[in-house]
């Protein structure tokens, strides 16, 4: 069930996303509804969630504290002096809330940095599933997904490897900016663990990145796009169509000036857009709008969709705030060399209509597990 907590669409999505383990806990839901009333902007957002996190940490409610800390952390930029402490508090409380004895953690050297990895080893495994996130996900969110939806018991013939790639979490802080060529970090994982074939699942923007990796890394046999994303720039232009004119290289001085004026106006009028612009600059490690839009313009598959030859599962919701659900048909028709295509469109009637089926993720997980069992 997806809950409307505030008048801000972005705020509602993030609360539903991170508080999903507690969506059926009436006491916690009541507390959230009361607590969010003072939230007016990103600063009050931080204060509310950080305060709740401290309270729960003091009561040794580590799982709940970690969820609140992740909400407090979400809108803090890398340059914010509070970011490191809030992020560390989130991680520490998270790992105090779960049993880690069956998880092997590692850091795989990659270019000038490293890829953090969590490896759920299974001595009886005959298959490997690799999972990664997207624009703003952390390794811990993936771990929670695997644990919460019983991947280990439902997929008993799989060993599962989770990783943070360039632009994500600790990998970003190790000096790795988000990169288009996602087949390279995936190949690094395969090589490190000496894996000859694997299935791949990408979450959120990871739906695009996993598709890209599969087009160029043929050790991937099946790929799960959770959710689909045909073109990263579509997340920007679906609500701001006039920005599409700037998604190209070598803007003229006149175009550059116009871009800066428009972006500045949008940032002043909408705190969520302001955050997304700064966050995108963080993950791409660029410091101006020209560089940002140049990098964004490259995050598409152009004519490479037909290089995907694997079995593909595509998922999308009709009320996805980041991905036009009609791109499902465009994406499927572009993958004309895929071995097989299986699609699931989630609606308000079925549930799971939001991005990555937040609010009713059980539906998506059951579909993914069923697909991988085949």
Q: Note whether 255 and 350 are same-domain residues.
A: no
Give the pLDDT band of residue 89 (cuts 50, 70, 90): very high
pLDDT of 339 above 90: yes
What is the arrangement of strands in the sheet containing 158-163, beginning at the earlier edge strand? Answer: 103-110, 113-120, 158-163, 127-132, 198-203, 220-226, 311-317, 340-346
The total of structural domains in the chain comes to: 3
Q: Note whether 304 and 289 are same-domain residues.
A: no
**Residue whose token pair is 């048909």:** 329
pLDDT digits (tens, 9 = 90+) for 126-156: 999 999 999 888 999 999 999 999 999 999 9
Q: Note whether 197 and 329 are same-domain residues.
A: yes
Q: Note whether 121 and 183 are same-domain residues.
A: yes
In sequence order, what DSSP letters do the residues of 25-81 get, joined into one string?
-HHHHHHHHHHTTT--SHHHHHHHHHHHHHHHHHTT-HHHHHHHHHHHHHT--TT-T
Does 335 fall in a domain? yes
Q: Note whether 324 and 206 are same-domain residues.
A: yes
**pLDDT given for residue 70 in this prediction:** 97
**pLDDT given for residue 336 in this prediction:** 95
Q: Note whether 55 and 177 are same-domain residues.
A: no
Residue 268 belongs to domain spanning: 234-297
pLDDT digits (tens, 9 = 90+) for 103-134: 999 999 999 999 999 999 898 899 999 999 99
Q: Note whether 61 and 187 are same-domain residues.
A: no
Mean pLDDT of 208-232: 96
Least confident of 113-127, 285-299, 303-317, 350-364: 285-299
Q: Mark which of 297, 319, 341 sits at the end of a domain.
A: 297
Q: Note whether 184 and 313 are same-domain residues.
A: yes
Q: Note whether 72 and 163 are same-domain residues.
A: no
Does 211 fall in a domain? yes
pTM: 0.94
**pLDDT given for residue 370 in this prediction:** 96
Does 156 fall in a domain? yes
Query: DSSP class of residue 322?
Result: S
Mean pLDDT of 298-311: 93
Token digits of residue 327: 């791109």
pLDDT of 295 above 80: yes
**pLDDT given for residue 169 in this prediction:** 93
Q: Note whether 293 and 167 are same-domain residues.
A: no
Does 336 fall in a domain? yes
Mean pLDDT of the chain, nearest integer: 93
Token digits of residue 153: 């018991």
**pLDDT given for residue 148 in this prediction:** 93
**SS3 state at 202:** strand
């Amino acid at each position: 069930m997806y809950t409307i907590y505030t008048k801000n669409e972005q705020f509602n999505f993030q609360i539903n996303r991170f508080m999903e383990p507690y969506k059926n806990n009436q006491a916690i839901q009541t507390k959230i509804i009361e607590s969010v009333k003072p939230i007016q902007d990103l600063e009050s957002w931080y204060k509310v969630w950080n305060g709740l996190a401290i309270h729960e940490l003091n009561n040794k409610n580590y799982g709940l504290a970690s969820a609140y800390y992740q909400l407090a952390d979400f809108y803090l930029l890398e340059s914010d002096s509070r970011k490191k402490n809030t992020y560390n508090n989130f991680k520490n409380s998270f790992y105090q809330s779960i049993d880690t004895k069956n998880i092997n953690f590692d850091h795989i050297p990659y270019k000038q940095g490293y890829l953090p990895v969590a490896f759920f080893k299974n001595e009886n495994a005959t298959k490997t599933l690799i999972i990664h996130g997207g624009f703003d996900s952390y390794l811990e969110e993936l771990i929670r997904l695997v644990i919460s939806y019983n991947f280990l018991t439902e997929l008993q013939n799989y060993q599962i490897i989770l990783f943070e790639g360039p632009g994500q979490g600790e990998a970003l802080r190790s000096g790795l900016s988000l990169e288009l060529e996602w087949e390279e970090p995936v190949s690094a994982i395969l090589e490190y663990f000496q894996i000859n074939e694997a299935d791949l699942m990408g979450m959120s923007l990871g739906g695009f990145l996993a598709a890209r990796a599969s087009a160029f890394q043929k050790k991937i046999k099946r790929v799960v796009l959770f959710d689909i994303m045909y073109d990263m720039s579509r997340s920007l232009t679906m609500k701001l169509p006039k920005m599409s004119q700037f998604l190209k290289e070598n803007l003229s001085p006149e175009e550059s000036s116009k871009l800066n004026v428009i972006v500045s106006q949008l940032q002043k009028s909408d705190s969520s857009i302001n955050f997304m612009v700064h966050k995108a600059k963080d993950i791409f490690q660029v410091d101006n709008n020209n560089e940002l839009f140049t990098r964004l313009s490259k995050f598409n598959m152009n004519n490479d969709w037909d290089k995907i030859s694997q079995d593909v599962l595509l998922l999308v919701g009709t009320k996805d705030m980041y991905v036009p659900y009609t791109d499902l048909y465009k994406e499927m028709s572009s993958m004309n060399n895929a071995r097989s295509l299986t699609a699931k469109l989630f609606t308000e009637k079925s549930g799971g209509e939001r991005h990555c089926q937040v609010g009713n993720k059980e539906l998506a997980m059951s579909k993914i597990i069923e697909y991988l069992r085949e």
